[in-house]
Structure 1
Amino acid sequence: MTTDHDPTVRVRRARALMDLDRHAQAKALLAEAIAEDPSDADAWCALSRCCHGLDDYSGALDAAEHALTAAPERALGWRMRSLALLGLKRHAEARVSAMESVRLEPWFWYGHLLVAQVEVADTGPAFNGPTAREAARRTLQLAPERAASHYIAGCVAERLDQAAEAEAGYREALRIDPEHLGARNNLARLDMDRGNHRSAAEGFAAVAAADRGTGVGTHNLTVVATQLISKARWVSVAVLLLTDLGIVSTDAGIGPYARIGLLVLLVLGWGAWLLWAARQLPARLRMPLLRTVRGSLAVRFSFLGVAAFTLAALALLLVPPLDRHLNLVVVTAFVLQIGAFQAAQSASRRASRET
C-alpha cells in the first residue's frame, strides 16, 4: 500500500506537475522524496528534468550525477546528464553521455534523438555529419509517429545545408503536431532566407505568441523588422551617389532640374519601399510587430542608419557643398562605414534556430 508520503508517489506527482509547467512545486516534492531516500535514482532523474525546465542546467547536471551514482547502468540518468551538459554547451561531454544512453538502451528512440541533437547544437569542428544523419535515421525508424523524430531529421538536414529535406521534416512535424513551435520557427527562418518576409513574420509571430520563455520568436521578429528597414537605405544611397557624381562631373555642380529630379527619385524610392514593406506584412501583424520591436537596439540602429542616409541625401540636394571633391570623399567614406557596420551586425541580426 502506498501513501502520499511514499517517495514513489511523490515522484509520480512531481512528474505530473512538470507536465503542467509547475516546476517549482515539483521541485519541492522531489526534495522531500530525496530527503527520505537519497539513493532514489528515479527521484534524482526527475529532479534533473525539473531543474532543466527551470533553466538551471548546473542543478540538472548535479542531480543527474547523483542519479548515476545510485544507478550507473540506468540509461535515463545518462540522458539527463547529456541534456544538462547540452544546456551548459559542453558538447563533447554531452555527446559521450548520449552515446552511453544509446549503448544501454539501443531500442529507445529518444537516446538516438539526443545524439542527433547534440551534433546539431555543436557548431564547432567536432560536428559529425554522418553520426547526426544516422542518429536521425534511427530515431525515425524507431518512432515515425512522433513529431520530434521528423523535427530532428529536419534540423540535421538543415545543418547539412539540405534545405528541401529540412523543410520536409519540419512540415511533417507540424502535420503530426500543429503546435510544434520549433518546427514553426525553423520553417519561418527558411522562408526569411528565401526573402519571403510575409510568411516568416507570420511564423515568428505565432512562436512569440506561444513563447515558453526562450524569447526566440520575439528575437526573430526583430530580425524581420531590421531586414525590412535596412532595405530602405538603398534609396538614399542611390541618391547620395548620383548627387556626388553630378557635383564632381560638372564645374557648376548639378542644376535645379537635376536636383528636382533627384528629390522626386528620393520620394518615389521611399514610396516604393513603403508599398513593398506593407505587402510583406499582413495588416494584422503590423501593430504587433511594432510593439514587439520598439525596444530593440538592432532596430533602432537600422532606423538611425536609414535616417542618416536620407538626411545626408537631402542636405546634398538642398545645400551646395563647399568643396565638391572633399564632399565626395566624405560621403563615400560615410557610405563605406555604414556598409561595414551593417556587415558587422549581420551575425547578431540572424534569426535564431530552435533545436
Structure 2
Amino acid sequence: MTELREELARAATMLDLGRYDEATSLLARLVAAEPASSRGWCLFARAHLGADRYVEAVEAANRAAAIEPAEEWPHRLASNALMHLGNHAEALRAASESRRLAPSYWQTHVCVAQAALAAAQPALAASAAAEARRLAPNEPDVHFLSGKVALARGDLDSARGHQERALALDPAHSGAMNELGRIRLRRHDTAGAIRHFINAARTTPGEHIYSRNIDVVILRTLSRMIYVFVLVALLMLWVPAVMHVDRFPFAVGFGVLAAGTVASFGLVLLRLPREARGLVRRTLRTRRVATALFVAIGGVAVAFAAVAFVPPSELPQTLPIAILITIAARITATARLRSPVSKNQRPGDRMT
C-alpha cells in the first residue's frame, strides 16, 4: 500500500509538470495492478484530460465514482471532460452531483459555475460563483471564474475587477491575463487585448489558446479594415455616374483609398507591442490571409477598372456589375479570414 501511495504521488507530480503521456503510462500500470484505487482512476482521468483524451477521461472518472460513490472529485473530472465533449447537460449534472457530495468545497461550486456557463445558464453560474467567493474569498481561481461569469453576463466592470483581483492574488495567473484581454476586446481596445494575450502566452507557453487568441484579434482587425475598404470603394464607384469625373481623377481616388487603408493598418501596427508586430507579419504571410487580401484588393481594382474604362454610355450597365464584383470580393475575403484557425479552443479549467 505504501508503494502504491508513492507511485500515485509520483504520477501526480508528473501531471503537475504537464508530463501527461508519462503519467498515463505509469497510471495504466497502477490501475491494472490496483483496480480498486479510486485515486488512481482520478489521476488517470486527469492524465487523459491533459492529453485531450476526453472520452477516456470520462470513463476513468466514472470508474473512480463507482469505487467511491461519496467522493466528489470523480464527478468534477467527469464534468470537465464532458464540457470538452460538448455534452453540457451531462457536464452540469456531474458538477451538481459533486456539489451535492461536498457543498463546503469551493471547487465544487466553481465546477457548477463552469458547467452552467457552458450550458447557457448564466443565473445559475452567477449564484454558484457567488457561493464559491463566500467560501474562498482569497482563492484566485474563484475570482477568475467569477470574472468569466460576469463577462458572459455583459458586466465588463465587474469582470475586470475579478480578474484584477485574481492577478493580485496570483500574478502568474495566465487565465486571468487572457480574460483581461477578452474584456479589452469587448471594449474595442485591440492593442490592449493583444498585450494581455501576449502576457498570458509568455506566462504559460504550453497553452495554445492564448496564441490563438492573438491570431483571432489580428484576423478580426484585418476583417474590419477590409469591410471599411470595400464600403468606401462601393461609395466611390458611384462617383463617375453622379459627378461625371474623368478617368484620371477616378484612378487617383482608387490609389488614395488603397494608400489610406495601408496607412491606417500601419498606424494600428505601431500601437501594438513590439512582440505583437512579428506575430502580425507572420499572420499576413499565411496563405489564407494573403488570399483574402488579394481577393479584396483585386476585386475592388477590377470593379474600378470596369467603371473607369467603359464609355459613359455603357456606364449604367457596367456599374451594377462592378458593385456585384465588389460585394462578392468582400464576402469571399471575409469568409476566408473566418475559416477555422486551428482545432477548437479548450475551455480553461485549472481546477481539476
Q: TM-score, normalised by structure 1?
A: 0.85
With over 3 angstroms needed to count, the CA separation of the structure-2 counterparts of 1:239 and 1:54, relative to structure 1, is: closer
Paired position in structure 1 for 2:296: 306
Q: CA deviation at 1:305?
A: 3.7
Equivalence for 1:203: 196
Moved more, 332-341 or 174-183: 332-341
**1:184–1:207 CA contact under 8 A, matched in 2:** yes
Amino acid at match of 1:238: V
For residues 60-71 of structure 1, the aligned pairs below 5 Å read 60-71=57-68
Deviation at 1:208, TM superposition (A): 3.7
Give the 3-state SS of the residue equivalent to 1:151 in structure 2: helix
Letter of the aligned partner of 1:201 in structure 2? I
Question: Is this contact kept in 2: 1:15–1:46, CA < 8 A?
Answer: yes
Which residue pairs with 1:135 in the alignment?
A: 128
Asked whether the equivalents of residues 251 and 308 of structure 2 are also in contact (C-alpha less than 8 Å), the reply is no
Instruction: Write the mapping of 1:87-166 to structure 2, written as runs, cut at 5 A.
Output: 87-122=84-119, 127-166=120-159
Q: 2:282 aligns with which of 291, 300, 303?
A: 291
Q: Report what 1:337 is aligned to.
A: 328
For residues 24 and 36 of structure 1, the distance between their equivalents in structure 2, rounded to whole angstroms, comes to 19
2:270 equivalent to 1:276? no
CA distance in 2, matches of 1:80, 1:237: 49
| Aligned residue among 198, 205, 208 for 1:215 | 208
Distance 2:323 2:346 in 1: 36
Q: Is the 8 A contact 2:296 2:330 kept in 1?
A: no
Give the stretch that moved more between structures: 153-162 or 231-240: 231-240
Q: Give the number of equivalent residue pairs.
A: 344
Cα distance change, pair 79–353 in 1 and its aligned pair in 2 (3 A): closer
Given residue 121 of structure 1, which amino acid in structure 2 is its aligned partner? A
Secondary structure of the 1:195 match is coil
Show CA shifts across 1:79-137 (max 9, x none). 22222222222111111111111111111110000000011122xxxx32221111101
Contact kept in structure 1, 2:296 and 2:329, CA below 8 Å: no
Tell me, yes or no, if the aligned pair for 1:232 and 1:306 is still in contact at 8 Å. no
Cα offsets for 1:158-207 (capped at 9, x unmatched): 11121221121122222222222222222212212322111122222333
Question: Does 2:165 correspond to 1:172?
Answer: yes
**Quick one: distance in 2 between partners of 1:325 and 1:140?**
66
Q: What's the CA shift for 1:28?
A: 2.3
Contact 1:305 1:338 in 2 (8 A): yes
- Please report how far the alpha carbon of residue 71 of structure 1 lies from its aligned counterpart in structure 2 after TM superposition: 1.2
How far apart are the structure 1 equivalents of 2:133 and 2:284? 38
Is 2:9 aligned against 1:12?
A: yes
Are 1:136 and 1:152, in contact at CA under 8 Å, matched by a contact in 2?
yes
Moved more, 55-64 or 231-240: 231-240
Secondary structure, counterpart of 2:35 in structure 1 = coil
Answer yes or no: is 1:255 the counterpart of 2:246.
yes
SS at 2:238 equivalent: helix
For 2:46, the aligned partner's letter is R
Tell me, what secondary structure is at the counterpart of 1:254?
coil
Could you state the TM-score of these two structures normalised by the residue count of structure 2?
0.86
Matches of 1:18 and 1:171 in 2, distance apart? Answer: 28
> Which deviates the most, 193-202 or 48-57?
193-202
Contact 1:228 1:277 in 2 (8 A): no
For the residues of structure 2 that align with 1:302 and 1:65, how far apart are their CA atoms? Answer: 47
Note if contact 2:159-2:183 (Cα within 8 Å) is conserved in structure 1: no
Match for 2:187 among 194, 207, 223? Answer: 194
1:20 CA drift (Å): 1.1
Equivalent residue, structure 1, for 2:257: 266
Counterpart residue type for residue 245 of structure 1: W
Q: What residue identity is the alignment partner of 1:30?
A: L
